[in-house]
Amino acid sequence: MPPKQRRIAILGFRSVGKSSLTIQFVEGHFVDSYEPTIENTFTKNTKLRGQEYQLTLVDTAGQDEYSIFPTQYSMDIHGYVLVYSIVDPRSLEVIQVIYDKLLDMTGKVNVPIVLVGNKRDLQGERKISQEQGKKLADSWKAVFLEASAKNNDSVIDIFSTILTQIEKADNSNNGQAGDGKGGCVVT
């Protein structure tokens, strides 16, 4: 059986670690230097519950509340990873605006989304509690995770969870229910 093709967009305010999370997942290392991303696309083959996937990860430029939500982020995208930094309250405000724009652009109420509070390695500088992130994700009916790209903490979980959410959405569109179990084998 050929691998299922899945496109995932990673969105968030600038400097929240979108590229770091993506590169950690795809290449297995942490990129410490910060250069603003214009847009990069990465591919990775992975396996989830016996199904092979070819992922295309769209690592987007940092958005702010004034940026127009580009149409290409709403077409042919199966799921979204929305990222904020636990040390930057502004990034949480911006991610809420991005979420609203995302729903407007896709025209869907039920979009596969994982909300990620990144930079968990900076606990001493934390400004956004885990409860705040979870409450926001719950209000969106999204899954919430905290991660650290630097420590490779929960990075694989982010992508296995978004794949699970995409499959649940696909299955519910086909009248089937997903089992909700994660677990990603990186190949």
Q: Is 4 helix (H, G, I), strand (E, B) or coil?
A: strand
Fill in the amino acid letter for 114: V
d(Cα 117, Cα 106) in Å, to the nearest integer? 23
pLDDT of the chain, 187 residues: tens digit per residue:
789 999 999 999 999 999 999 999 999 999 876 676 677 899 999 999 999 999 999 988 777 766 666 666 667 899 999 999 999 999 999 999 999 988 888 887 778 999 999 999 999 999 999 999 999 999 999 999 999 999 999 999 999 999 999 999 888 766 543 333 334 444 4
d(Cα 109, Cα 121) in Å, to the nearest integer? 33
**Domains within the chain, CATH numbers bracketed:** 4-186 (3.40.50.300)
pTM for this structure? 0.88
Cβ–Cβ < 8 Å for 83, 16: yes
